[in-house]
Amino acid sequence: MKYADFYQRSIATPEQFWQDEAALIDWNTPFTQVLDYDHPPFARWFVGGKTNLCHNAVDRWCLPGGQGDQPALIAISTETNTERSYSFNQLHVEVQRWAAMMQSLGVRKGDRVLIYMPMIAEAAFAMLACARIGAVHSVVFGGFAANSLASRIDDAKPVLIVSADAGSRNGKPIPYKPLLDEAIALSSAKPSRVLLVDRGLAPMTRVEGRDVDYAALSAAHLAAHVPVTWLESNEPSYVLYTSGTTGKPKGVQRDVGGYAVALASSMKHNFCARAGETFFATSDIGWVVGHSYIVYGPLIAGMATIMYEGLPVCPDPGIWWRIVEKYKVTRMFSAPTAVRVLRKQPPEFMRKHDLSSLKALYLAGEPLDETTSSWIADELGVPIIDNYWQTETGWPILSIAKGIEDTPTRLGSPGVAMYGYKVCLMNEATGEECGPTEKGVLMIEGPLPPGCMQTVYGDDQRFVDTYWSDVGGRMLYSTFDWGVRDADGYYFILGRTDDVINVAGHRLGTREIEESITSHPNVSEVAVVGVADKIKGQVAVAFAILKDAAAGTLEQDVMAVVDRQLGAVARPARVYFVTQLPKTRSGKLLRRSIQAICEGRNPGDLTSIEDPSSLQQIKQALL
Ligand code: AMP
């Protein structure tokens, strides 16, 4: 089939299109309406239908005569030197045990469960168990520290937190429990229970009456039978926090039915999934890729999925390729930063493995530069498929749907609009749609297709105000990315329109980092900008004004505050001290000008600057 026809059908007759796609998953009760868009921009998909993500990911494959004995989850840790493989049947047992444990701790349908875990199998069990009983999980990336965690606890108000003694990086344990205790102390919403997996990596103190040990509790629920709770398609499945323009992270809330259909659909058309094969996404469950393409997507497609804890270069830079060879991975998903890291390693590590099982490598999360893309394509000899999307959308907006047609990729472009997405580029100044090769803001006309965010958790108004605008009667969702389209419909992403930066594929809000830095007692003001970096795409760089310059505050002292509060993932690469920051006369920080100077570019229009000498200071600091 021609992709253009497939796409056209999804746009011209979305209800018929998605009705057909919905047949890719199991429904307990059929839906009565494909789409309810009576209250734009809120879209409700598959109204009245009842289904369950855990059923579609696990139970469905365990039927007699099915593939219950085949691998479902393969958890590999090069940090603890362990490999554990669970068949669909075994996963079914584990998930029911976790569901029973959660129920015994008082978790009910609709309750939130916050999961703050390293990349171990138990994290996936916990997610699937929530989905099974209709609890709403909120996974927080293990690299985040106390303050980031506290703001998420405050917003999600979990009844239960699932965590572990520690993660591990490069063989060194990273204790989670002290950070968790600090976060709970900081937050005003206190979970009544904390369930802890003790990996034996770091000592833990327990809070009497609140903290529960997984080992002891699981013994009481070994062969538990917990039936699936059938959920109306539009009930929430999870909340995943993401950074935006303000310091307060947004809880991206997703539904059940639409998400299951979007994943089943994208696994088929984008990732060419085949039940029984193996999928390997190198992301983390703390990010959206981990939700969609480590846990739910591959399992919904009946594939084995690999969860990997460790670095791409330890014990040696061949580790990922050894995994591909051993488990006959057919589809792999990673990020450009990881490929850039691997490119710096001796090529023998990749070449000594038999990678003949691999059919394609998918890359997402940040712009894919041509050098990286061409290098990895040559090394692997398989198609490299860039895909552009966001936490908010849950699955690709732009890419190439190889499962429909073998459309060629184009260097530097993530591809064309994916089915279901009415993508447009808008000229901000005129409010008109851009012509070919004209730069504009990448927007999507509502309704968003199935699988995209339903709302901001607990704050419908913030969802509307943040993302949507009414342009001549059309409700348009903003991605906050600049883009341009060529004459053939291929898009090119040109960076964010807001103050979000992208470090190694991780999305960080500069406001969040600024708020953390100003909590240092000797910092009065700070500006954080994203600066281009050869490996990580971007890094954060801070310019801070000290209250007392003679007090001996060092760059490391400021970095330590960020490490402690937000986690090392948000630590600026450099902190420079200045006595003035470039601002407009109305007091708005000129972050774009600072960024331009850091990247050796022209700082742009400075007619509104209050004091031009402030820019001089930035230049001087960088010398
Ligand atoms: P996140 O929500 O953390 O996945 O971040 C989404 C943002 O990452 C997007 O809005 C883009 O700015 C950027 N991004 C994601 N994928 C790509 C890609 N393939 N090419 C360029 N930028 C991307």
Tokens standing for residue 191: 């979970």
Quick one: which atom of ligand 1 is closest to the CA of 480? Answer: 10
Residue of the nearest CA to atom 13 in ligand 1? 366
pLDDT in tens, 226-261: 999 999 999 999 999 998 777 788 999 999 999 999
Please answer whether residues 302 and 58 qualify as being in contact, where contact means their C-beta atoms are separated by less than 8 angstroms.
Answer: no
pLDDT tens digits for range 338-355: 999 999 999 899 999 999
**Phi/psi at 497 (5° precision):** -90, -10
Local structure of 569: helix, strand or coil: helix
Q: Which residue shows structure tokens 């239908």?
A: 49
pLDDT of residue 3: 98
Is 3.20.20.70 the CATH number for 3-310+387-464? no
Report CA torsion sign: 493, 495, 497, 501: positive
Closest CA to 312 of 338, 279, 285, 340: 338
Q: What is the per-residue pLDDT across 355-394, written as a single tens digit (0 to 9) for each? A: 999 999 999 999 999 999 999 999 999 999 999 999 999 9
Nearest CA to ligand 1 atom 23: 366
Cis omega (within 30 of 0) for bond into 315? yes
Give residue 597 CA to ligand 1 midpoint distance, Å.
24
What's the average model confidence in pLDDT over 211-231?
A: 97
State how far the Cα of 293 lies from the Cα of 282, in Å rounded to an integer. Answer: 9
CA of 321 from ligand 1 middle (Å) equals 25
Atom of ligand 1 nearest to the CA of 364: 19
Is the Cβ atom of 151 under 6 angstroms away from ligand 1?
no
Q: Where in the chain is the domain with CATH 3.30.300.30?
A: 504-622
Q: Is 387 close to ligand 1, i.e. is its CB under 6 Å away?
A: yes
Give the nearest ligand 1 atom to 507 CA.
3
Summarised one tens digit per residue, pLDDT across range 521-566 is 999 999 999 999 999 999 999 999 999 999 999 999 999 999 999 9
- Using the mean position of ligand 1's atoms as its centre, give its distance from the Cα of residue 409 in Å: 18
Mean pLDDT (the chain, rounded) = 96
Task: Tell me the average pLDDT across 482-509.
Answer: 93
Ligand 1: atom nearest CA of 496 is 12
CA angle 485, 490, 492 (to 5 degrees): 60
Cβ of 507 closer than 6 Å to ligand 1, yes or no, is: yes
Kindly give the distance from the C-alpha atom of residue 196 to the centroid of ligand 1, in angstroms, as a whole number. Answer: 33
Kindly give the distance from the C-alpha atom of residue 95 to the centroid of ligand 1, in angstroms, as a whole number. Answer: 32
- Position 529 scores a pLDDT of 95
Band of residue 605 on the pLDDT scale cut at 50, 70, 90: confident
Quickly state the pLDDT bin for 72 (edges 50, 70, 90). Answer: very high
Q: What pLDDT score does 588 carry?
A: 84
Q: Which of 243, 254, 366 to mutate to test the pocket of ligand 1 (most atoms within 8 A of CB)?
A: 366
Roughly what angle, to the nearest 10 degrees, separates helices 555-565 and 510-518?
110
Q: Centre a 10 Å sphere on the Cβ of residue 6 and count the other Cβ atoms it contains.
A: 16
- Mean pLDDT for 35-42 is 98
Q: How far is the CA of 27 from the centre of ligand 1 (A)?
A: 32
Give the architecture (CATH level 2) of 504-622: 2-Layer Sandwich (3.30)
Mean predicted confidence (pLDDT) in 89-109: 98
Question: 191 exposed, middle or buried (CB, 10 Å; 0-12, 13-18, 19+)?
Answer: buried
Strand duo 82-87 + 574-578: pairing:
unpaired
Q: Residue 4: pLDDT band by 50, 70, 90 thresholds?
A: very high
pLDDT at 377: 96
Over residues 424-445, the pLDDT tens digits come to 999 988 889 998 889 999 999 9
Residues forming CATH 3.40.50.12780 domain(s) in the chain: 3-310+387-464
Residue 589 dihedral angles phi and psi, to the nearest 5°: -65, 135
The count of C-alpha atoms lying within 13 angstroms of the C-alpha of 277, restricted to the half-sphere facing its C-beta, is 20
Answer whether 336 contacts ligand 1 (Cβ < 6 A).
no
Q: Is 383 exposed, middle or buried (0-12, 13-18, 19+ CB in 10 A)?
A: middle
Q: State the closest ligand 1 atom to the C-alpha of 495, by its place in the atom list counted from 1.
A: 12
Res 600 pLDDT > 90: yes
- C-alpha–C-alpha distance, residues 480 and 237, integer Å: 25
Q: Is 98 in the pocket of ligand 1 (CB under 6 A)?
A: no
Section 467-478 average pLDDT: 94
Give the distance (Å) from ligand 1 centre to CA of residue 269: 20
Give yes or no for residue 390 CB within 6 A of ligand 1.
yes
Ligand 1 centroid distance, CA of 223 (Å): 42
**209 vs 193, 219, 399, 400, CA distance in Å?**
8, 19, 50, 52
DSSP annotation of 437: T
Measure the CA angle with vertex 321, ends 316 and 325; round to 5°.
Answer: 130
Residue range 451-461: average pLDDT? Answer: 98
Query: How far apart (Å, rounded) are the C-alpha atoms in residues 196 and 217?
Result: 10
Please tell me the predicted confidence (pLDDT) of residue 23: 98
Strands (E) located in 336-439: 360-364, 384-387, 398-399, 416-417, 422-426
- In the reported structure, the alpha carbon of residue 192 is separated from the centroid of ligand 1 by a whole-number distance in angstroms of 36
What is the pLDDT, as a whole number, of residue 243? 85
Encode pLDDT of 263-306 as tens digits: 999 999 999 999 999 999 999 999 999 999 999 999 999 999 99
Q: What are phi and psi of 424, to 5 degrees?
A: -140, 160
Is pLDDT of 205 > 80? yes
* Class of residue 48 by CB neighbours under 10 A (exposed 0-12, middle 13-18, buried 19+): middle
DSSP string, 10-47: HHHSHHHHHHHHGGGS--SB--SEEEEEEETTEEEEEE
| For ligand 1, atom 6: residue with the closest CA | 390
DSSP state for residue 584 in the 8-state scheme:
B
| pLDDT on residue 61 | 98
Helices (H), 545-590: 555-565
Side chain identity, residue 602: N
Contact predicate 565/148, CB 8 Å: yes
Q: How far apart are CA 135 and CA 98, in angstroms?
A: 12
d(CA 599, CA 595): 6
Of the chain, the percentage scoring pLDDT greater than 70 comes to 100
Asked if residue 502 has its Cβ within 6 Å of ligand 1, the reply is yes
Residue 493, ligand 1, Cβ within 6 A = yes
Cα 253 to ligand 1 centroid, rounded to whole Å: 18
**Local structure of residue 59 (DSSP, 8 states):** G
Q: Whose CA is nearest to atom 19 of ligand 1?
A: 388
Q: Which of 567, 577, 565, 566 is closest to 541 using CA atoms?
A: 577
* DSSP per-residue string spanning 253-279: EE-SHHHHHHHHHHHHHTT---TTSEE
